């Protein structure tokens, strides 16, 4: 078990002082990058695959960066043009009619998607995909730098000019691939050639980014830090597996996908499910739930941003259970995993409270009949709710956090209730044996 508890004295030494916010129960450690040094310490039978993976990532990173450098020379630019920010998924509709995807508006968006596809085959996040195609010398990514960067911040990229260039974060890459499939399915064969090529490259990106153990990083080619972890945050990996499931089955708009790509997608799904099973946290000999991020090499819970600590995670684990319960033919081990996760949620439901806004920011307050609610994070080994702040301090009382972090993060939620409601129906046909 990874122990994130530290004494108040240690926290004070690291952060400079223990503020008036109250008890600090630990400091958030940084996530570790996938590196040659760490791979060299792996068991012999794992090293070859991981070395090949890291080398492939490094080669692709250089190809991607060389592509943009060449464009800058031709365009006579000293710095890349920064594209307009937006929410990519919001400008890429996936719920229109089949006829709409065969029309000019959809093709306009698809052409923009093609222009922002990285040489590796993926897409960045937070781009306005409803404007204009990417221009020569324009970056593949908008400005995704945190507004709160400080010295030693976990969000500080290795290179501020190359950040989230190819990612699964914020629905990126999976949304673009899904949209292209809809446009291809609604277009005449001769009109969809470029879109099919882009779609195939997008699938190739997903296959290349998958870790040898079946997980996916948040960013690929690898960017370092928490971006290298197996990422369940915001359903990034779940959405990737769901997309590949639809591809493997040739379902709906994916009926055009070649047989060889469908086979690769099916194999990728199985490896992804294996990773999900391997990362379920075990407490006192019993499977519990999952963390928000897991270390790519050790599979242990890992940190994300400064305020996202290694811990059992309520919201992401609820999404995981909902995903697993949709599997049409779950294996006995998956069935046991779901039952264990549901039992953990029932055990850790919180009643008699509400998560409310107040003049002093969001706060947890007593409320008769309130709940059930679940914290976002629970300390491993104790199941005690814990909370992180931007200075990397970990607290056991959400009301002790800075106002900015209390307002800016969903520390409590009811998503597990949706999972438990679905579980009651699912369990009738999937008894624990």
pLDDT in tens, 116-167: 999 999 999 999 998 899 999 999 999 999 999 988 999 999 999 999 999 9
Residues in the chain: 433
Q: Give residue 160's pLDDT.
A: 92
Token look-up 């897991």 returns 294
Give me the domain span that covers residue 191: 45-279
Q: What is the pLDDT of residue 16?
A: 34
In 256-402, alpha helices (H): 259-279, 314-325, 332-347
Q: Identify whether residues 199 and 310 lie together within a single domain.
A: no
* Whether the Cβ atoms of residue 261 and residue 203 lie closer than 8 Å to each other: yes
- Is 293:313 a contact under the CB 8 Å cutoff? no
Is the full-model pTM beyond 0.85?
yes
The CA angle 148-153-159, to the nearest 5 degrees, is: 95
The answer to whether position 319 is within a domain reads: yes
Assess whether 138 and 233 both reside in one domain: yes
How much is the pLDDT for 391?
96
Q: How confident is the model at residue 19 (pLDDT cuts 50, 70, 90)?
A: very low
Say yes or no: 313 and 400 in one domain: yes
* Domain-terminating residue out of 279, 313, 331: 279
Asked whether residue 394 is domain-assigned, the answer is: yes
Residue pair 416/314 in contact (Cβ under 8 Å)? The answer is yes
Whether 414 is in a domain gets the answer: yes
Q: Does residue 109 sit within a domain?
A: yes
Is there a contact between 25 and 396 (Cβ–Cβ < 8 Å)? yes
Q: What percent of the chain has pLDDT over 70?
A: 95
Please indicate, yes or no, whether residues 92 and 146 belong to a single structural domain of this protein: yes
Give 86 or 318, the one with higher predicted confidence. 318
d(CA 9, CA 324): 42
Give the model's confidence band at 433: pLDDT under 50 very low, under 70 low, under 90 confident, else very high. confident
Query: pLDDT at position 7, please?
Result: 33
With H, G, I as helix, E, B as strand and everything else as coil, classify residue 86.
coil
Q: Distance between CA 165 and CA 45 in Å, rounded? A: 31
pLDDT digits (tens, 9 = 90+) for 359-416: 989 999 999 999 999 999 999 999 999 999 999 999 999 999 999 999 999 999 999 9
Residue 4 has pLDDT above 60, yes or no: no
CB 432 within 8 A of CB 335: yes
Cα 150 from chain centre: 23
Mean pLDDT of all residues in 69-85: 96
The predicted-structure confidence for 171-217, as pLDDT tens digits, reads as follows: 999 999 999 999 999 998 888 899 999 999 999 999 999 999 999 99
Final residue of a structural domain among 236, 261, 279: 279
Q: Minimal CA–CA distance to 280: which of 223, 342, 228?
A: 342
Is the per-residue pLDDT at 243 higher than 80? yes
Q: Could you give the dihedral angle defined by the CA atoms of residues 112, 127, 168 and 158, in that order, rounded to the nearest 10 degrees?
A: 120
Joined tokens for residue 119: 């040489």
Using CA atoms, how far apart are residues 389 and 408, in angstroms rounded to an integer?
11
CATH number of the domain encompassing residue 272: 1.50.10.20
User: Do 338 and 262 share a structural domain?
Assistant: no
pLDDT for position 1 = 35
Catalytically active residues are 170, 305
Does some domain include residue 26? yes
Query: Between β-strands 377-378 and 312-313, what pairing exists: parallel, antiparallel or unpaired?
Result: antiparallel
Omega before 372 within 30 of 0, i.e. cis: yes
Token pair recorded at residue 350: 């919180």
Average pLDDT, the chain: 93
pLDDT at 88: 78
């Amino acid at each position: 078990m990874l122990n994130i508890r530290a004494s108040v004295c240690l926290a004070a030494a690291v952060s400079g002082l223990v503020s008036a916010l109250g008890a600090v129960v630990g400091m958030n450690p940084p996530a570790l990058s996938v590196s040659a040094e760490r791979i060299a310490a792996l068991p012999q039978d794992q090293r070859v695959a991981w070395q090949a993976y890291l080398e492939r990532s490094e080669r692709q990173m250089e190809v991607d960066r060389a592509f943009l450098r060449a464009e800058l020379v031709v365009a006579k630019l000293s710095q890349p043009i920064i594209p307009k920010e937006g929410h990519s998924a919001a400008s890429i509709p996936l719920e229109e009619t089949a006829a709409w995807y065969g029309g000019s508006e959809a093709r306009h968006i698809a052409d923009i998607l093609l222009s922002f596809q990285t040489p590796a085959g993926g897409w960045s996040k937070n781009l306005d995909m409803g404007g204009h195609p990417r221009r020569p010398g324009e970056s593949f990514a908008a400005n995704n730098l945190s507004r709160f960067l400080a010295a030693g911040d976990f969000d500080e990229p290795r290179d501020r000019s190359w950040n989230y260039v190819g990612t699964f974060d914020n629905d990126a890459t999976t949304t673009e691939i899904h949209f292209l499939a809809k446009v291809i399915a609604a277009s005449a064969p001769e009109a969809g050639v470029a879109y099919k090529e882009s779609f195939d490259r997008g699938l190739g990106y997903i296959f290349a980014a998958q870790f040898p153990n079946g997980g996916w990083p948040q960013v690929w080619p690898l960017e370092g830090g928490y971006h290298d972890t197996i990422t369940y945050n915001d359903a990034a990996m779940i959405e990737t597996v769901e997309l590949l499931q639809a591809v493997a089955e040739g379902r709906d708009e994916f009926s055009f996908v070649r047989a060889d790509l469908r086979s690769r997608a099916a194999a990728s799904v199985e490896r992804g499910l294996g990773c999900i099973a391997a990362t379920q946290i075990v407490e006192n000999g019993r499977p519990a739930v999952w963390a928000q991020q897991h270390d790519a090499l050790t599979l242990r819970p890992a940190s994300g941003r400064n305020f996202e600590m290694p811990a059992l995670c309520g919201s992401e684990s609820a999404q995981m259970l909902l995903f697993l319960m949709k599997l049409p033919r779950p294996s006995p081990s998956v069935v046991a995993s779901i039952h264990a996760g549901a039992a953990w949620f029932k055990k850790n439901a919180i009643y008699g409270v509400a998560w409310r806004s107040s003049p002093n920011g969001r706060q947890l307050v007593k409320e008769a009949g309130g709940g059930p609610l679940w914290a976002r994070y629970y300390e491993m080994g104790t199941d005690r709710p814990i909370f992180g702040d931007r200075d990397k301090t970990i607290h056991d009382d959400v009301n002790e956090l800075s106002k900015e972090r209390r307002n800016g993060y969903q520390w409590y939620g009811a998503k597990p209730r949706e999972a438990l409601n679905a579980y009651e129906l699912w369990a009738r046909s999937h008894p624990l044996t």
